[in-house]
Amino acid sequence: MKLWRVVLLLNLALGAGILLGYLAWGREIPRLERAVETAREQSATTGAERTWSARGVVRAVLTDLNVVVLTHEAVPGLMPSMTMGFKVHEPRLYQGLDIGATVRFTLKGTGPSNLEIVTIAREDRP
Amino acid sequence: MTAVGMAIRWFHLATSLLLIGIFTASLLAGRSDRATAMRWEARLLWWTRRLVLLVLLAGLASLAYQSADVTGRAGAAFAPAVWLRLLLQTQFGTVWLVRHALLLLLAALVLLRQRERSTADWAAFRVEGWLLGAAAAAVAAWAGHAAAVQSAAPLPALVDALHLLTAGVWLGALIPLAALLRSASVEAGADARPYAVLAIRRFSSVALVAMLLIVATGLGNAWFEIGTVPGLLGTRYGWLLLAKVALLVPALGLARVNRHMLLPALSGEAATVGRPAMARLGRFLGWEAALALLILAVTSALSLTPPGLHESPWWPFGFRFSYADAAATPGVKARLVIGSQLALLGLLAAVVGFLLRQRRGLVAGAGAASLAVGLWIALPPLVVDAYPTTYRRPAVPYQVASVDEGAALFRANCARCHGPGGRGDGPEGAGLPKQPADLTGAHVLHHTAGDLFWWLTNGFLRSGMPAFGGALSETQRWDLINFLRALSAGERARALGPLVEANRPWLTAPDFSIIVGPAPARPLKELRDRWMVLLVFFSLPESRARLAQLAQSYESLQFSGTEVVAVPMDGGAHILKRLGGKPPIFFPVVTDGAEEIAHTYAIFSRTAETGPGGRPAPAPKHVEFLIDRQGYIRARWIPRQGEAGWGEIKSLLDEIRILDKEAPSAPPDEHVH
């Protein structure tokens, strides 16, 4: 076979290879990244019941709703730092909690939409 | 170490470009059956085989150098683990792999070559070689500065790739063509003379286009990597670039002589006519090639120097041009308009003159004269003093902590002469040769931060301003400058009111950390782009009713895109407890570092009013600032008897809506300037 044909064929093969490779895998990358992202979210939102622990500061105690509002640090694997209200497992827990008190608390549940404070204790002296 | 790196880069670059050049020269010359031409081609092929191996070797050397460089240990140069990490996990590695895959293909093509029988085979081999070599060289752009300065934008890397490619076509082809001319100029090579003349003619046209492209893409590169005149004149990167241009000018001059004087002398078949010209042309091409190799040496130095964009320039002149200072003087604008028009006209005439065939000297000369006169009219009013540090970038960002530190330094070192408020009325200022400057004036904003840095460091000995270069550290001097900026801006901020002036941001909100209890500190800046901010400075008990009102309206404020951040004016100790839970407050209330923030923003809290007896009005107990999404303070409300302001949330929401509808402006600089 003549050299120019070989060269042309090789270039075509290279181009076709790159194109096919892109079609087969290159376009998959964004989809896979999205899949990983949703899987990560799901692993945080669903699944078995577990507990998390973090520190926060008491912003409000809403006894009629049975909710304590905390500005808390990031809860690893659950949520970033934010101000948010949490249901309290039993009313006894928020007795003696003053506004502005620094606390360490434990959350129990299956994800951000299903959480309860099971322990909460002051870190600073009252 | 750097010298080794430079040598490796230079060798890598030179061999890569020479490979492109050899294929370019061979393609331009075309196929021939003359003995001398065939010998020349054979020699070129012999060289390509060596060059491909040399480029691959240089590639390995550059990998070793990079390994030693990133780890900081010379011993890591040949550590397989470092190589692997570099190749698989960095942009440099990806580019290296692609590049050397292409070069391996080229090596296979060159080393496995069979003798071509047809012209199609002949062309296929060279075109393929050129393509592979060009691709390998161009890919390097994605591992250089061009890709690094703006990694998201593809344009700088593309421009750089084109720069490399055209450099290969022009500079790389010089050596093989010089060799061809030499062989053809001797008696034994007379048979290849028409062939050589044809090759050099074609090259001359291609080189003209390549040169224009090199200059254009080089300008593009300079723009992306330096961006400013001080960056060009005041950084090492800029100086190297100027050196490169200085070497390019004689190369272009030689090219011009070749094209316009020696090339015409080659015409005519007679061996005796063409021969001396051909020998001289070959020599000139050789010199051009030598200059090209020097240019490549400077280029490799450039590739190892941080781009001017990232350096603090050192200004080499005692003056600079500033429009902002001159614009206020009457008559200057007219001079500017007339001068700039004359200069522009002159420039146009000069360019046209060069393109003319007749009366070139006359038109170009008149153009140059008009340019000079225009500049002479326009520039002098713009001249202001400048110092080596004029374009230095502040080492400390414009943040509350720095401004507050600067304020303390000001009280300790400057207030004696410049006065506690910076008005130049300090007790010890009266006896000085010159009255101390009023630092609250707008003129402070016209000077660059670098100017102020120079004055602080070196003083004005004749007027009595001492030098603080020895007494204050560099950081302390920048802190002071940040404070001076806030002071001068605060003077202008006296006129701030509760109404937003649409599309006119000017007052940068100094950044600070929002710390609420144990939650991690969050910079105010982090809210940019997403939130407007209502920054509330409050005192208890005066602000209690207002805070309750904001707490109740928090949802509608958030719904309108506004975050509320509250800062206690009298320190943050137990502030949440003191605020209590009725009504509950859910917006961030700063519990740590509140004093620093309150001190700095107090500079922006003064009004034009004076208190009883002409003294400054007492500091307000409650101030609210509205900050737009870019980080500019846009409006301010200080509650007062008989004034509505933002007393009703509805009127606050009206102002927020104006900000919400604005097109985003450029974000404020991290640093004062």
Residue B446 has pLDDT above 90, yes or no: no
Q: Would you say the C-alpha torsion B119, B124, B126, B127 has a positive or negative sign?
A: positive
DSSP state of B438: -
Note whether A103 and A55 are within 8 A (CB).
yes
Distance from CA of A95 to the nearest CA of B (A): 14
What type of residue is B442? A
Domain limits, chain B: 2-310, 319-385, 400-494, 496-661
B670: pLDDT confidence band, cut at 50, 70 and 90? low
Residue B34 has pLDDT above 70, yes or no: yes
Q: Which is more confidently placed, B327 or B594?
A: B594
CB contact under 8 A, B124 and A98: no
State mean pLDDT over B136-160: 80
- Report yes or no: A9 at the B interface, CB cutoff 8 Å: no
Q: What is the pTM of this model?
A: 0.77
B113: closest chain A residue by CA: A3
The pLDDT of residue B306:
81
CA distance B219 to B221: 5
Residue B108 CB coordination number (10 Å) = 13
State mean pLDDT over B259-272: 69
Chain A / chain B CB contacts < 8 angstroms: 84
CATH of span A50-122: 2.40.50.320
CA distance B389 to A29: 48
Query: What DSSP string describes B150-217?
Result: TTT-SHHHHHHHHHHHHHHHHHHHHHHHHHHHHHHHSGGGGGGHHHHHHHHHHHHHHHHHHHHHHHHH
State mean pLDDT over B423-442: 82
β-pairing, B319-321 vs B383-385, is: antiparallel
CB contact under 8 A, B125 and A2: no
Residue B672 has pLDDT above 60, yes or no: no
The pLDDT of residue B463:
81
Give the CATH class of B496-661. alpha beta
The pLDDT of residue B541:
86
> pLDDT tens digits, residue range B523-572?
999 999 899 999 999 998 889 999 999 999 999 999 999 999 999 998 76
Note whether B599 and B505 are within 8 A (CB).
no
> pLDDT tens digits, residue range B345-377?
999 988 888 787 788 888 888 989 999 999 898
The pLDDT of residue B559:
93
CATH of span B400-494: 1.10.760.10
Helices (H), B379-509: 400-413, 415-418, 443-446, 449-458, 474-492
The pLDDT of residue A1:
60
What type of residue is B339? G
DSSP state of A75: B
Backbone dihedral angles phi then psi of residue A61, each to the nearest 5 degrees: -120, 110
The pLDDT of residue B536:
96
Note whether A93 and A70 are within 8 A (CB).
no
The pLDDT of residue A45:
58
A49: pLDDT confidence band, cut at 50, 70 and 90? confident
Residue B270 has pLDDT above 60, yes or no: no
Token pair 């028409």: residue: B194
A105: pLDDT confidence band, cut at 50, 70 and 90? very high
Give me chain B's average pLDDT, please: 87
Residue A22 has pLDDT above 80, yes or no: yes
Domain limits, chain A: 3-45, 50-122
The partner residue sitting opposite B124, judged by closest CB among A8, A61, A99, is A8
* Alpha carbon separation from A11 to A5, A14, B16, B121, B128 (Å, rounded): 10, 5, 21, 14, 8
CB contact under 8 A, A99 and B579: yes
The pLDDT of residue B269:
55
Distance from CA of A42 to the nearest CA of B (A): 25
CA distance B627 to B637: 12
Residue B617 has pLDDT above 80, yes or no: no
CB neighbour list of residue B306: distance below 8 Å, 6 or more residues apart: B237
Mutate to test the interface with B, among A2, A59, A81 (most CBs of B within 10 A): A59
Q: Which residues of B touch A (CB under 8 A)?
A: 109, 114, 116-118, 120-121, 123-125, 127-128, 131, 516-520, 522, 574-581, 584-588, 591
The partner residue sitting opposite B576, judged by closest CB among A8, A11, A100, is A100
Map residue A125 onto helix, strand or coil.
Answer: coil
- Report yes or no: A62 at the B interface, CB cutoff 8 Å: yes
Residue A6 CB coordination number (10 Å) = 16
Q: Residue B487's closest CA among B436, B454, B445?
A: B445
CA distance B397 to B510: 9
User: Is residue A115 within a helix (H) or strand (E), and if so which, with residue range?
Assistant: strand A114-122
Give me chain A's average pLDDT, please: 84
CB contact under 8 A, B577 and A11: no
The pLDDT of residue B431:
78
A48: pLDDT confidence band, cut at 50, 70 and 90? confident
Map residue B619 onto helix, strand or coil.
Answer: coil
ipTM field:
0.72
